[in-house]
């Protein structure tokens, strides 16, 4: 599933082509993705100017005066700005047509989602959609640091990796980046969240921010189904230290990396370097 850097890469790729443009029309080729597409998408969005493209956690919001279209890429979704006459591919479910504005005429924002685990929903102005209401802080915001993680973890017996991936604790730290940050911080993913010290959480928060920023700069992590809006894959995958490398030599000590399932997600770590 695309994680925070992939979604932020998508946002940055779309924004110059979409912000300031008016929605000329919306074409739905099916009435639902993961959930039914609400009528506001076709009734309120056309005619509105897209004032901003925002990201909250792994969601993208197209902000207009009438409200915000709320999108999630799911496991296999992609958004592209294309000429309106671009031939349809399988699973091209939604077109948001854009007026000329500051860019070329006849462009569409096209949502392709083979598995239909993504969504297209609506957030009225001044409200917070229920999917966003209980989310934790952004990991790149000032609200997120080691002291915050330490306070939130007290009394928790769940593995620290599961704790990090709880979107009510912090958003956007999915399986890949949790594994990488724990490796960089030298913390075993199996350690109980409540047994990690304040000092080690300070290091972990620093590594999370560092890895996420670097991954965003490099265009995200190439997943089987993810390609950035310009058609180029991300590049961070080439530099992963732990994720997907079970059984391979640890980059630090050379011992074989361990692999197990934690919270139904494959986890890789070094039993020697991570305690």
Say which of 55, 58, 245, 258 is annotated catalytic: 58
Contacts of 212 (CB under 8 A, 6+ apart): 4, 5, 139, 140, 172, 173, 177
What's the angle, vertex CA 112, arms to CA 27 and CA 80, rounded to 5? 85
**Distance in angstroms (rounded) separating the CA atoms of residues 209 and 181:** 9
**Distance in angstroms (rounded) separating the CA atoms of residues 1 and 259:** 20
Q: Is 2 a catalytic residue?
A: yes
Buried b (16+ CB within 10 A) or exposed e, 232-258: eebebbeebbbbebeeeebeeeeeebb
Contacts 24+ apart (CB under 8 A), 200-204: 201/146, 201/147, 201/149, 201/150, 201/153, 202/145, 202/146, 202/147, 203/146, 204/146, 204/149
With beta carbons less than 8 A apart as the criterion, state whether 62 and 74 touch. no
Q: Is 3 a catalytic residue?
A: yes
Which residue's entry shows tokens 């604790």?
169
Q: Is 210 a catalytic residue?
A: no
With beta carbons less than 8 A apart as the criterion, state whether 202 and 185 touch. no
Q: Would you tell me the crossing angle of helices 198-217 and 175-185 to the nearest 10 degrees?
A: 130
DSSP state of 45: S
- Among 71, 79, 91, 67, smallest CA distance to 12 is for 79
The catalytic site residues sit at: 2-3, 58, 265
């Amino acid at each position: 599933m695309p994680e925070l850097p992939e979604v932020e890469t998508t946002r940055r790729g779309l924004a110059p082509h979409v912000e300031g443009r008016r929605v000329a029309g919306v074409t739905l080729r099916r009435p639902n993705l993961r959930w039914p597409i609400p009528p506001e998408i076709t009734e309120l969005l056309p005619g509105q100017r897209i004032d901003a493209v925002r990201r909250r956690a792994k969601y993208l919001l197209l902000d207009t005066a009438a409200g915000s279209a709320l999108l999630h890429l799911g496991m296999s979704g992609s958004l592209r700005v294309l000429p309106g006459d671009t031939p349809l591919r399988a699973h091209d479910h939604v077109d948001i047509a854009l007026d000329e504005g500051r860019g070329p005429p006849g462009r569409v924002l096209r949502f392709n989602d083979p598995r239909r685990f993504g969504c297209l929903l609506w957030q009225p102005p001044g409200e917070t959609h229920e999917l966003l209401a209980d989310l934790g802080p952004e990991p790149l915001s000032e609200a997120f640091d080691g002291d915050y993680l330490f306070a939130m973890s007290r009394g928790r017996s769940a593995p620290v990796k599961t704790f990090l991936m709880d979107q009510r604790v912090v958003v956007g730290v999915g399986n890949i980046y949790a594994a990488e940050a724990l490796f960089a911080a030298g913390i075993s993913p199996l350690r109980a969240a409540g047994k990690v010290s304040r000092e080690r959480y300070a290091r972990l928060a620093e590594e999370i921010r560092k890895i996420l920023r670097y991954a965003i700069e490099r265009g995200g992590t190439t997943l089987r189904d993810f390609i950035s809006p310009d058609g180029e894959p991300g590049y961070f995958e080439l530099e992963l230290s732990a994720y997907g490398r079970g059984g391979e030599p640890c980059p630090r000590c050379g011992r074989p990396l361990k692999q197990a399932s934690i919270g139904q997600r494959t986890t890789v770590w070094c039993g020697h370097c991570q305690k």
